[in-house]
Amino acid sequence: DVLSEDAKDLTIQRRRDLTAALVEIVQEPAGSPELIQCIQQALRQHGSERQLVREALEVCRALANVVYLPVLLKHSLDRILHVGLESEDLRELAVSALAEWIDRAVTPSNPAAHDLARFTTMIARLARSCCFDNNQRNYAFHCQVAQLLADFCSNSAGSLYFILGRSELSDLWGALQHFLRYPATTVQLDAVGGMCHLAKAEASGWSSTDGASPQPPLQDLLGTLFVHCIKVEVLPSDMLPERSAWLLRCLGPASVNEKLQGFPTWLQMTAFSQSFDVCDGVKYNEERKQKWGCLKVKVAELLVQICCVAHSARPKDDCNAQATVGSFATLCNYVGELVLRACAGDWVAEFDAAVMLVERPWPSVLASAEKQCKTDLDSVVQPSVCFLRHVAQSGSSSNIAIEHRRLEFLSHVASLYKHCQPELVGQVVQRLISIIDKPPTPPRDSGINLSQRALDTLVSLGRCGALQPAQLEALNLEFGRLAPRLFPTARAKLLEALAAAIVSCEALDLQKQAHLLCGIMEQATGSWRACDLVQQDGSSCLSATLASAAAAAVELPSLGSGAQAAAKCLADEPNLAKMRDSRTLLFTFTNVMTNTLTAKARRSQQPATEPTSSSGNNGSQSTTVPKDLGPKTIVTPVVQAWAPGIFALAQSLASLQSAAVPEAAAVVLSTFADMEQRVMLGHRAGGEDLEECLPPGLNARTVRAVRTMLWEIRGAVLKAAHVCITAPGFWVLPEACKWVESLAKTLPMQQPHLADMLLKEVIGPALLASLETSVQPELPATVCSLVVPPLVSGVSQLLRDCWSGAAASAVPTASVPLAREGAIAAAVVSLSRTASRLLSDLSGAGLHQAGIMIIMERHLPRGCNPSSMAEGDNDNGRVIADGGKKSGKKRKNANRNRFAALAQDESMGVGDAAIVKTPLTAPEVPRGAVLSILRERRLRDGVREALVGLLLIPEQETVERALVGLSVWTRQLWNLVCRGEDSTAAAAGVTKGKLLETGELLHSAGDALRVLPQGVLRPVASMLTAPPLVVAGSTHDSADMVGAGKVVDCSAPLASSVQTRWAAYISATKVHGKSGPAPLVSDATQVVFAVLASLMRLFKLQCRKLNLEPALQHMYLCPSLAEAAQVCRGMHNTTEADVEAVLKTLIEEDGATHDAQRSAIRAMLHE
């Protein structure tokens, strides 16, 4: 009872005492334990009583909780289990006891070989006695035994191979194979799982004690695995006798009581066993499919373990190595025969299952072989090539489904082509081209597009880099022949395949690759330039095209219609065809350029001679291309040819919302496309579609199709513009900056989700991407001066409009109003977060150690040689950042006073009062757009004002990021002044890299930091004193004040989406009943600290110049610091003592940690 009952009521110490006592009576004395003798004596005297045997089985089951399996086997307690297994009414109890033993089979010491052999034989005999008999109770028992056997193999596979001989292990494999032929997916899954563990133990180097492999022949397993991988739903109901007999031969002797009359009988038994699982309905059908999928995964894992050439460092012998080397060849040969038989009979299900046996384990087997020696690699490659040739060269089947599956396999094994002979690769390419040229007609409602499948396979083949230059030339000629006859989508896919093959061919140099790439893009480039929609004045043409397409009387083909229906639609409606062709061209350009840049990025950067474009192969103007950008520059001529049209179309699309358009075009723009709304919401909109009221003459289905096409074009053109911006050679174009500036100027006129896309895809990358400064050093400054002003003003205006109450009322009515309002609300929140993130990055938030400030007063030497400092000959020749460490050790100068004043009198030399400006190791020096913005006061003030404006938006993530941006902006401004790179220093005639005079430093710092009290600190303090309040449907104007808080009156969906998180963000926290600062206060602390720390360091510099001790009574020397202190005093519940405590903590910077300083500021803000 102690062993069996749940002892939750006992204390831990009591349970430990009981366990120790039980272990003692089981193991002491060592020869004949007392408890074992009691059980044996009781069974000898009263073994005929079933109740006593049942009690003994209960004790045996419970003993597994206190002693290990070797002790139980040592005293032959497994014989009691054997007695229970032979009795009909005790076998379930015996199996449960056996399961307890197996669950605790992992022991510190292994059992004796004869004990483990006896135990294994008992389990194997029990498994082989399980045969399906259409009895539900017996089926449940068989499932329990199968799971028990799988657990035994899982827990003890290594010990079994280490202790047992070949006979016992073969017996165990046979038991698993018996369950593998049981007509139930659950049992088959357990059997394959157990085989995986045994095969893994053997593949890891273990072998039986007599050195022979206990695995059954692989061909005996493959037939059964092949049958289990067949999709039953594809098999015909009236199966031919020949086909049924063949499948039964592959299955082998089934584990059933009655003789199978045919394969349909096996399927009926399988379905009958599934009905025993009780569950019905759609959910259980999905579970069945998932279980069958798990079975296929386990089959692939088993074949990988058997075929992989991977061994442990110290195998016992070479027997398993030799068996493994030939296993994959056996697999390929056997499956090859299955493929032949399936093709001969046009049997789709069998062909799919046979190919799957090689397709799934093949990548792992090849990857394992590539890590070994050449012999091991050849043992995998040669059978694979033979099987590939067998599949590729088999006669063209009249069955479209088999041909489609064959093409899928040829695509899946694309990485094998680099090991094949060029002749075989050429044969595969020729087969694909023939299908693309003349695709067979698929059966009606089959959903098979053989031509598209062949194109996808060709793309995979091109990416693997197996095509040789001669084959590329031939493929290029075939492309020129086939392109005019293909539909635009097929032509684009073929172009993508050819481009992938070109850039992946290592035998071609960069110049040849660029020439071929320009050649294959020539036709697409010409079509793109000739399109009316991409002209510079294409806005009116675009609106007219939308109106004409929406008013078309043609009936569009239904979803999933074939190519013929699409071609008829194109012929009947040229405007919709024009839009579709533009979309296809944009997708083609984006895919080809992205894949090319990605492929070239993997190659090591090396000097390359960039070919210039010429009108002979790509139709673009001759352009001088930089020669130091590496392999990526092969896309430069194509990008330069496409970029004008891409940005012209983007500008036309951006101007649609504000331009005067025809009535039909206005109807198209009045609401969202279904896919557009789904992207905005992040999920499919709920509710039923309401019929849209349209003007006479417009068809609702046609209008929806035009809307969808317009949405796809918007996304395609922005992605294409992103590719142009990040590609080399784009910024060399004279109008590149103007194009981005024009798009930035359209931000206030955009809908929220379109502006969000524009910021993410175009404007953000244009400012933050690595520009070609090696060719144009002034490029970042030029881009920022043109793009940043319209960006900050446009984003600020758009967000003000979106968060106002008038924005919701101005939105047109949609077919599903609630879904549309929810989509707009989600888009507004996303736009706010994107804008906050972008402005924060433009302030330097993405820099390494962006929050570190330079401590200049630690590096103001006295009486040193300026020339030696400039050359870095002493340890003060480098400005060290706050928190940074000096690298290396240098001799200290004992005669130097490190704490001298900045200047003593006018007779001192320049070097005595100079600050050295040298490169920093930390923090990271800003580059590119960030440095250009910080240097130019107009630009950095624009970014600061935009960040301050974001503080009025009641959305947590937006305000969090805005506060980070303001903090980093303040710190980077101080670091900029310390480096002497501010515009004030430049106006004073300070040369970069020269010494900075003391007066110049103080003048520059005082002028630059003057904006901090009112421009940064006051808005943050105002927000902390009165956070904005979000309401929906308020009668107040957005500028009204409720108490001291600003009311943000917005739409109800927008208010409901942010209200809960915002209320928690601005509310005080409670920890163990004690009130703490709100999360908003904690985030704002970093901004207040940055402002006060910067002004305090300026104040210390001024005091050092005048030989004064920094103290509060001298704060009049720094008006900006005094003004900042006054702003802090004006906060709610902030006293003079609070402000003085913070200032004293900041003055004592060397004695107080930053955490202490921030804690003081946080306490001031919280109070």
Closest CA to 825 of 918, 753, 733: 753
What is the pLDDT at residue 832? Answer: 94
Say how far apart CA 969 and CA 947 lie, in whole Å.
10
**For the chain, percent of residues with pLDDT exceeding 90:** 20
> What is the DSSP secondary-structure string of 413-448?
TGGGGGGS-HHHHHHHHHHHHHHHHSPPPPPTT---
Is a pLDDT exceeding 60 seen at residue 52? yes
Residue of higher predicted confidence among 906 and 772: 772
Q: Please count the CA atoms within 13 angstroms of the CA of 1124 that sit on its side-chain side.
A: 30
Token pair for 1021: 């303090």
Structure tokens at 400: 């479209």
Residue 233's CB: how many other CB atoms inside 10 A?
Answer: 7
Nearest to 582, CA basis, from 639, 524, 537:
524
Q: How confident is the model at residue 1154 (pLDDT cuts 50, 70, 90)?
A: low
Name the residue type at position 775.
V
Phi, psi (rounded to 5 degrees) for 135: -105, 125
Are the beta carbons of 902 and 1104 closer than 8 angstroms? yes
Residue 818 CB partners (closer than 8 Å, separation 6+): 687, 1053
Output the pLDDT for position 386. 86
Instruction: Quote the crossing angle between the two packed helices 522-530 and 510-520, to the nearest 10°.
Output: 50
**1048 bridge partner residues:** 1030
Mean pLDDT of the 1046-1074 span: 84
pLDDT in tens, 379-433: 888 888 888 887 876 655 578 888 888 888 888 888 888 788 888 888 888 888 8
Q: How confident is the model at residue 286 (pLDDT cuts 50, 70, 90)?
A: confident
Q: Which amino acid is at 58?
A: E
- The kind and range of the H/E element at 107 are none
**Exposed, middle or buried, 443 (CB in 10 Å: 0-12/13-18/19+)?**
exposed
The dihedral through the CA atoms of 921, 924, 925, 928 has a sign that is positive
7 vs 312 pLDDT, higher one: 7
Q: What is the pLDDT of residue 454?
A: 87
| pLDDT score for 36 | 75
Which residues fall within 8 angstroms of residue 387, CB to CB, at 6 or more apart? 332, 335, 336, 358
Q: What per-residue confidence (pLDDT) applies to 642?
A: 93
Question: What pLDDT was estimated at residue 720?
Answer: 94
What's the whole-model pTM score?
A: 0.74
Expressed in percent and rounded to 5, the helix, strand and coil fractions of the chain are 65, 0, 30
pLDDT digits (tens, 9 = 90+) for 338-367: 988 888 888 889 999 999 998 888 888 888
Interval 697-725: pLDDT, tens: 788 888 888 889 999 999 999 999 999 99
| Of 7-16, 581-590, 776-785, highest mean pLDDT | 581-590
Output Rg (C-alpha) for the chain, integer angstroms: 39
pLDDT in tens, 778-809: 888 899 999 999 999 999 999 998 888 655 44
Q: Give residue 650's pLDDT band: very low, low, confident or very high (50, 70, 90).
A: very high
Type of residue numbered 78: D
Pairwise pLDDT comparison (900 vs 42), residue with the higher score: 42
* Highest mean pLDDT (candidates 106-115, 204-213, 644-653): 644-653
Does position 40 have pLDDT exceeding 80, yes or no?
no
- Is residue 612 scored above 50 in pLDDT? no
Q: Give the contacts of 318 (CB within 8 A, at least 6 positions apart).
A: none
- 930-962 pLDDT per residue, tens: 888 988 899 999 999 999 999 999 999 999 999
pLDDT at 342: 87
CA distance 896 to 626: 50
Q: Residues in the chain, how many? A: 1167
**Which residue, among 246, 219, 224, 453, has the nearest Cα to 347 in the 3D structure?**
246
Residue-level pLDDT at 393: 65
1049 φ, ψ (degrees, to nearest 5) = -90, 110
SS3 letters across 599-614: HHHCCCCCCCCCCCCC
pLDDT for 868 equals 32
Position 1046 pLDDT exceeds 80: no
Q: Average pLDDT, stretch 1002-1023? A: 88
Q: Where are the alpha helices (DSSP H) in 863-936?
A: 866-870, 928-935
The tens digit of pLDDT for each residue in 1091-1129 reads 998 898 888 888 888 888 888 888 888 899 999 889 888
pLDDT, residue 943, reads 94
Q: Which residue bears the tokens 């880099």?
A: 465
Q: Given pLDDT bands bounded at 50, 70 and 90, which one contains residue 250? A: very high
| Contact in structure between 342 and 363 (CB atoms under 8 Å) | no
Q: What is the pLDDT of residues 484-529, one digit of tens each?
A: 778 888 888 888 888 888 888 878 888 888 888 888 888 888 889 8
pLDDT of residue 772: 57
Residue whose token pair is 């493994």: 324
pLDDT at 500: 83
pLDDT of residue 686: 56
- Cβ partners under 8 Å of residue 101, min gap 6: 64, 69, 72, 78, 81
